[in-house]
Amino acid sequence: MRSFRKELWFETRQRMAFLNITAEVEAALVESGVREGLCLVNAMHITASVFINDDEAGLHRDYARWLEQLAPHAPTSAYQHNQTGEDNGDAHLKRQVMGREVVVAVTQGALDFGPWEQIFYGEFDGRRRKRVLVKIIGE
């Protein structure tokens, strides 16, 4: 069995953003040489997320609005976490809702998706470099 590890790095200009990272993950899969196995993709920061959904702009705007309603950034004084000098208490909660990682089956050297599925990096406290781990195991 093979094991392959790669880090992807992202830096968004906005505080909240959703980036389609499917192509980068597919490139890592090709680089790994794995034809049958599993691909784990996870955010390595506690204010970012990795999730699977449709690449549709309206849906992404809905996510942003919904997450901001669930955990609004302001007022920052509403979060006990921010009493430590941070201003990202909301980002931690948004990450918890959207999830840390995804696992996708690898079949015949390709990510084995359902219709419309794509992999996204969700950023909730942007404007600095953060990484995503891609770990692929199989044969």
Ordered alpha helix ranges (H), 2-136: 22-32, 57-70, 89-98
Host domain of residue 13: 2-138
Does the model's pTM come out above 0.85? Answer: yes
Tokens standing for residue 63: 């996510």
Tally of domains within the chain: 1
State the pLDDT at residue 102: 98
Q: Which residues of the chain have pLDDT under 50?
A: none
State the pLDDT at residue 48: 98
State the pLDDT at residue 7: 98
What's the CATH code of the domain at 80?
2.60.120.460
How many CB atoms lie under 10 A from the CB of residue 91? 26
State the pLDDT at residue 62: 98
State the pLDDT at residue 131: 98
Tokens standing for residue 110: 């390709």
Q: Which residue has the tokens 């392959």?
A: 4
State the pLDDT at residue 29: 98
Distance of CA 32 to the CA centre of its chain: 20
Exposed/middle/buried for 25, CB within 10 Å: 0-12, 13-18, 19+? buried
